[in-house]
């Protein structure tokens, strides 16, 4: 349309409109003209606008003429609001004004939808007659509430590739059992799996008198035959998790005490390290000593088995490799630490041995080397907590003492440091779950807590408290579901923290794993 089309001069200096305008009902073209005389009176004598309009002597508007302002307010009565989804069109094509008196129709539709979701599609089909039926409206269009228009002004494109050609993406926050599209198909989806809950209290507590409060010792171990070995003073006690029976394995002289215990990977043989530097092998099934091996000059605080090879770490800073099939006390000596060796762990493939010492060093050895092929010096306190991942080859976790408080992860295959997490307290032990990619750590100064972590995010799944002193000892059950912790408060506490490998749930025999507090000696 040309810019001048539909506009003409009426002789008074003001344009008039002659084109077809869509004016509201009851409004004429004359009502659109401005009263210039009223506006001229508001202008000053030297106003450029007044000079442009002419010097009129009229002071005010005519008393008989209606004055209109320059603000145009359209009448909404002639607007087609149904095109903008502001009003509903009835299913039968009735005028929107006729539907305004029937707002209860939307409530009936909502009741039908709610009844169907709660009691199923059959309950929805048995619902009483809706207002549409009582009015004789038999349209096949879906029932819509007043807030759900039949025509939308904006349409959004959705991705239908996830579940099929007509599927819609499901909101992760949706709790509706009828699916994402809200179709009343009668098929109810399975509920979302609830997050795993970890009990915050131990299900069993054993009194362990004379359990030493010494960071550098390892006095608790759990065998593959479900027997727990605990070193208490000069004695070693065995507790059967199947029968709750307690057996006294050995008793040393008052001049010697137990400093470490370690079960063979398979079988019933237990290695015991003493304060005098000896390592004894005991047949737990027959309760008799098999042999005694020397070699260390002072206490043996840590032991680790790899098939028929037994590694022992001592305060004399050495690691001795012992082959129990030969007569010699040891077959090789690993020298590298400059202080007491307090942590030893073989990898799951029995190819690498990780050692931690009071010199803040973490070393990794192989089967043939007499020198460590990996040295990690990032810790700033003693390294006792060591754990190999059963889920990823070469993934090693280590924890530092009071001055360090960090859990660090290493890749021994690439000789690189991965991540470091400050736990806020002394790290005493680490153990990895065999069933899920999670690990548990026990802590000393100053919170004495037990933390279950999800790897690799290292998010805390649970923080367990109950020990009143440093949680220095940790062992895991052969099924990988239960851990036992020991502390200087002379208690052993049993916790269900990991799921089972198949059912992902922990099931216990109430007759054996009953709640309560008993004595181990």
Residue (of 220, 199, 244) closest to 488 by Cα position = 220
In a domain, 264, yes or no: yes
In a domain, 144, yes or no: no
Residue range(s) defining the domain that contains residue 454: 204-496
Looking at residue 170, its pLDDT comes to 53
* Residue 98 pLDDT exceeds 60: no
- Burial pattern 131-148, b for ≥16 Cβ within 10 A else e, equals ebeeeebeeeeebeebee
**pLDDT tens per residue across span 445-491:** 888 999 999 999 999 999 999 999 999 999 999 999 999 999 999 99
In a domain, 268, yes or no: yes
Mean pLDDT of the chain: 77
Give the burial class of 149: count Cβ atoms within 10 A of its Cβ; 0-12 exposed, 13-18 middle, 19 or more buried: middle
Looking at residue 324, its pLDDT comes to 93
In a domain, 32, yes or no: no
10-24, 42-56, 266-280, 337-351, range with the lowest pLDDT: 42-56
* Residue 92 pLDDT exceeds 70: no
Contact criterion met (CB below 8 Å) for 67 and 61: yes
In a domain, 408, yes or no: yes
More confident site: 315 or 177: 315
Gap between the Cα atoms of 229 and 215, Å rounded: 18
Residue 112 banded pLDDT, cuts 50, 70, 90: confident
* Residue 2 pLDDT exceeds 70: no
Give the burial class of 74: count Cβ atoms within 10 A of its Cβ; 0-12 exposed, 13-18 middle, 19 or more buried: exposed
The strand pairing partners of 227, in sequence order, are 240
Task: Work out the average pLDDT over 2-23.
Answer: 48
Residue 43 CB neighbours (<10 A): 13
Give the burial class of 471: count Cβ atoms within 10 A of its Cβ; 0-12 exposed, 13-18 middle, 19 or more buried: buried
In a domain, 379, yes or no: yes
| Alpha helices per DSSP H over 235-304 | none
Gap between the Cα atoms of 386 and 433, Å rounded: 13
Max CA-CA distance within the chain? 133
Structure tokens that stand for 98 in this block: 């006729």
**pLDDT tens per residue across span 43-88:** 455 544 444 444 444 444 445 555 555 666 666 555 555 555 444 4
* Residue 28 pLDDT exceeds 70: no
Looking at residue 289, its pLDDT comes to 94
State whether residue 321 is helix, strand or coil.
strand
In a domain, 421, yes or no: yes
193-207, 344-358, 502-516, range with the lowest pLDDT: 502-516
Which range, 50-59, 102-111, 273-282, has the best average confidence (pLDDT)?
Answer: 273-282
94-108, 133-147, 191-205, 291-305, range with the lowest pLDDT: 133-147
Give 3-state DSSP helix, strand, coil % of the chain, rounded to 5. Answer: 10, 30, 60
185-199, 325-339, 349-363, range with the lowest pLDDT: 185-199
In a domain, 441, yes or no: yes
* Residue 23 pLDDT exceeds 80: no
44-58, 297-311, 337-351, 391-405, range with the lowest pLDDT: 44-58
Residue 516 CB neighbours (<10 A): 10
Domain CATH number, residue 337: 2.130.10.10
**pLDDT tens per residue across span 174-219:** 555 555 444 444 444 556 666 788 999 999 999 999 999 999 999 9
Residue 172 banded pLDDT, cuts 50, 70, 90: low
Contact criterion met (CB below 8 Å) for 353 and 313: no
Structure tokens that stand for 242 in this block: 């199947």
More confident site: 188 or 364: 364
> What's the domain count of the chain?
1
């Amino acid at each position: 349309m040309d810019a001048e089309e539909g506009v003409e001069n009426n002789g008074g200096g003001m344009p008039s409109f002659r084109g077809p305008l869509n004016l509201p009902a009851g409004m004429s073209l004359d009502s659109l003209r401005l009263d210039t005389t009223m506006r001229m009176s508001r202008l000053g004598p030297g106003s450029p606008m007044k000079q442009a309009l002419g010097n009129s002597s009229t002071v005010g508007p005519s008393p008989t003429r209606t004055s209109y302002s320059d603000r145009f307010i359209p009448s909404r009565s002639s607007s087609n609001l149904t095109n903008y989804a502001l009003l509903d069109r009835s299913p039968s094509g009735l005028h929107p004004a006729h539907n305004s008196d029937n707002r209860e129709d939307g409530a009936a539709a909502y009741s039908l939808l709610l009844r169907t979701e709660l009691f199923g599609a059959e309950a929805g089909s048995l619902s009483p007659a809706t207002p549409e039926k009582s009015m004789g409206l038999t349209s096949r269009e879906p029932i819509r509430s007043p807030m759900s228009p039949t025509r939308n002004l904006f349409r959004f494109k959705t991705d239908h590739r996830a579940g099929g050609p007509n599927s819609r993406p499901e909101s992760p926050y949706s709790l509706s059992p009828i699916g994402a599209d809200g179709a009343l198909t009668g098929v109810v989806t399975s509920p979302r799996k609830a997050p795993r809950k970890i009990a915050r209290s131990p299900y069993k507590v054993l009194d362990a008198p004379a359990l030493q409060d010494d960071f550098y010792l390892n006095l608790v171990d759990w065998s593959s035959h479900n027997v727990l070995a605990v070193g208490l003073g000069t004695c070693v006690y065995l507790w059967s998790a199947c029968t709750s029976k307690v057996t006294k394995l050995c008793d040393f002289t008052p001049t010697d005490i137990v400093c470490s215990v370690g079960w063979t990977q398979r079988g019933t043989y237990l290695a015991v390290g003493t304060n005098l530097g000896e390592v004894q092998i005991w047949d737990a099934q027959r309760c008799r000593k098999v042999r005694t091996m020397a070699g260390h000059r002072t206490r043996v605080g840590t032991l680790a088995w790899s098939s028929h090879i037994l590694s022992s770490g001592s305060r004399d800073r050495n690691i001795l490799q012992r082959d129990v099939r030969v007569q010699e006390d040891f077959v090789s000596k690993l020298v590298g630490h400059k202080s007491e060796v307090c942590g030893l762990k073989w990898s799951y493939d029995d190819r690498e041995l990780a050692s931690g010492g009071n010199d803040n060093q973490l070393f990794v050895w192989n089967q043939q080397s007499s020198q460590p092929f990996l040295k990690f010096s990032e810790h700033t306190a003693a390294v006792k907590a060591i754990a190999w991942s059963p889920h990823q080859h070469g993934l090693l976790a280590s924890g530092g003492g009071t001055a360090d408080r960090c859990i660090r992860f290493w890749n021994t295959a690439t000789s690189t440091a991965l991540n470091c997490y400050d736990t806020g307290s002394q790290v005493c032990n680490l153990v990895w779950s065999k069933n899920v990619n999670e690990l548990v750590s026990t802590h000393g100064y100053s919170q004495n807590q037990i933390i279950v972590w999800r790897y690799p995010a290292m998010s805390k799944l649970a923080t367990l408290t109950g020990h009143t002193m440093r949680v220095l000892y940790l062992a895991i059950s052969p099924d990988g579901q239960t851990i036992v912790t020991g502390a200087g408060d002379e208690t052993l506490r049993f916790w269900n923290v990991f799921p089972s490998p198949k059912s992902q749930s922990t099931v216990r025999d109430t007759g054996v794993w009953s709640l309560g507090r008993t004595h181990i000696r």
